[in-house]
């Protein structure tokens, strides 16, 4: 896709099907070559059409963030899902998990004695329908316990009637310059230690789950036997700046129109304004990122500010400022946010619109 297809009203999310499918195949091949399983995180796209392509390419199952996302993908045929989140299970959650467990293989996360006890009590006689993986902190310092506390959590889960089948971690600190290799190494040692301690305590640990888009395909030692990357299907401006994807691997952009332009003078910046703001691009900007997004065909331009319906783009000297009405393609910083802001996306091949796909798991936050 070299331009915004005719007939598109902006702002609009565009998915290049051909690049998407190449990205899916590339990750599947890379993970297969490492001899481990791929369980992609579908919170990135929230689309059954894409999940079906990932499964057809060899994924062993899907990863989701919420019970609601699991329900959507199981309803669309998924038969193996992992809710990679330390759930606090209420009676309502328990009824939904029990129903899911009657339809598919379902695993959930936990990272505390109290949460494991609450889960077991809420599930009651349905505990045999759910597997539990203990979440390990491998350096991101979000949720998860240190490897040395994994046995305590697992023993509480087992005492509550739950079946502990593995450990998992999210090396989220890999999303920073110079960090992917270090994060992957920390993940390896944390998962290895936790799994070893649990096996010594008598647990049958069959799943050791890790990985993120920056680390999943790295040629480094790994104790994980499955990885859960998500963003790789689309790529985004963060992955571009981290060097984990290239422009020709960006499958999702946002079509936007220039609605204001200013040549600038003195301290007034040379800029244009697009009709795509935070309500479609998303407002995520890590401290190290050079802007709130990038432009597909103008890599030196930077989105310096976002309002709800405006994107201010600082335009590089030496490059002609686009005309009013020009249609540009924005690469969002964090594509997962974009997909939770729209009900559907336009699918293209070359310069032709070929489909519209619904974001079926949008807003499934619980």
**Pick from 57, 54, 26: nearest CA to 41:** 54
> Residue 275 sits in a domain of what CATH number?
2.40.37.20
Domain C-terminal end among 187, 207, 232: 232
* Residue 54 and residue 22 in contact, taking contact as beta carbons nearer than 8 Å: no
Domain C-terminal end among 175, 205, 232: 232
| pLDDT reported for residue 219 | 66
- Look at residue 83 and tell me if it is in a domain: yes
For residue 131, give the 3-state DSSP assignment.
strand
Block mean pLDDT (10 aa), the chain, length 366: 88 98 97 96 98 98 98 98 98 98 98 98 97 97 97 98 98 90 92 98 97 83 93 96 94 98 92 98 95 95 97 94 97 98 97 97 97
Task: Let me know if 211 is exposed, middle or buried by CB neighbors in 10 A (0-12, 13-18, 19+).
Answer: buried
Enclosing domain of residue 82: 17-232
Q: Which two structure tokens, joined as six digits, stand for 346?
A: 């336009």
The dihedrals phi and psi of 19, each to the nearest 5 degrees, come to -70, -45
- Report the C-alpha gap between 309 and 307 in whole angstroms: 6
- Look at residue 364 and tell me if it is in a domain: no
For residue 281, give the 3-state DSSP assignment.
helix
Q: Which two structure tokens, joined as six digits, stand for 239?
A: 């992955």
| pLDDT reported for residue 290 | 94
| pLDDT reported for residue 321 | 96
| pLDDT reported for residue 56 | 98
**Three-class DSSP labels, 54-75:** HHHCCCCCEEECCHHHHHHHHH
* Residue 191 and residue 207 in contact, taking contact as beta carbons nearer than 8 Å: no
* Residue 334 and residue 327 in contact, taking contact as beta carbons nearer than 8 Å: no
134-169: burial string, b at 16+ Cβ within 10 Å, e else: bbbbbbbeebbbebebbbebbbbbbebbbebbbbbb
| pLDDT reported for residue 52 | 98
| pLDDT reported for residue 74 | 98
Gyration radius from the chain CA atoms? 22
- Look at residue 9 and tell me if it is in a domain: no
For residue 275, give the 3-state DSSP assignment.
coil
Q: Which residues contact 273 (CB under 8 A, 6 or more apart)?
A: 258, 259, 260, 261, 310, 311, 312, 313
Q: Which residues contact 92 (CB under 8 A, 6 or more apart)?
A: none
The dihedrals phi and psi of 25, each to the nearest 5 degrees, come to -65, -40
For residue 355, give the 3-state DSSP assignment.
strand
Q: Report which secondary-structure segment, H or E, holds 25.
A: helix 17-33
Up-side HSE of residue 171: CA atoms within 13 Å toward CB? 29
Backbone φ/ψ region at 77: left (φ over 0), alpha (ψ -120 to 50), beta? left
146 plus 252 within the same structural domain: no
* DSSP one-letter code for 179: -
Domain C-terminal end among 201, 232, 263: 232
135 plus 27 within the same structural domain: yes
111 plus 159 within the same structural domain: yes
Q: Which two structure tokens, joined as six digits, stand for 230?
A: 């998500």
273 plus 300 within the same structural domain: yes
């Amino acid at each position: 896709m070299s331009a915004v297809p005719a007939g598109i009203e902006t702002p609009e999310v565009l998915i290049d099907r051909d690049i998407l499918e190449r990205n899916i195949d590339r990750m599947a091949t890379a993970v297969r070559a490492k001899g481990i399983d791929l369980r992609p995180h579908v919170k990135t796209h929230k689309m059954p059409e894409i999940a079906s392509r990932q499964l057809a390419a060899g994924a062993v199952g899907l990863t989701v963030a919420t019970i609601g996302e699991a329900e959507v993908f199981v309803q669309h045929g998924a038969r193996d899902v992992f809710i990679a989140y330390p759930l606090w299970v209420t009676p309502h959650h328990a009824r939904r998990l029990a129903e899911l467990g009657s339809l598919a293989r379902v695993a959930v996360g936990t990272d505390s004695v109290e949460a494991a006890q609450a889960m077991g009590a809420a599930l009651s006689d349905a505990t045999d329908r759910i597997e539990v993986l203990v979440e390990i902190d491998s350096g991101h310092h979000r949720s998860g316990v240190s490897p040395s506390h994994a046995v305590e959590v697992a023993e509480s889960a087992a005492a509550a009637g739950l079946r502990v089948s593995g450990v998992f971690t999210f090396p989220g600190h890999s999303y920073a310059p110079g960090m992917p290799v270090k994060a992957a190494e920390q993940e390896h040692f944390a998962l290895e230690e936790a799994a070893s301690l649990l096996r010594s305590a008598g647990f049958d640990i069959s799943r050791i789950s890790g990985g993120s888009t920056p680390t999943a395909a790295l040629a480094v030692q790994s104790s994980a036997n499955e990885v859960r990357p998500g963003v790789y299907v689309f790529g985004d401006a963060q992955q571009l700046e981290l060097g984990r994807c290239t422009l020709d691997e960006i499958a999702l952009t946002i079509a936007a129109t220039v609605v204001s332009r200013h040549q600038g003078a003195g301290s007034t910046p040379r800029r244009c304004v697009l009709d795509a703001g935070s309500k479609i691009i998303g407002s995520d900007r890590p401290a190290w990122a050079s802007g709130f997004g990038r432009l597909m065909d103008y890599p030196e331009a930077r989105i310096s500010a976002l309002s709800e319906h405006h994107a201010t783009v600082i335009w590089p000297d030496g490059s002609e400022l686009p005309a009013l009405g020009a249609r540009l393609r924005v690469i969002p910083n964090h594509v997962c946010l974009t997909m939770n802001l729209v009900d559907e996306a336009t699918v293209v091949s070359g310069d032709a619109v070929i489909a519209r796909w619904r974001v079926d798991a949008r807003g499934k936050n619980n």
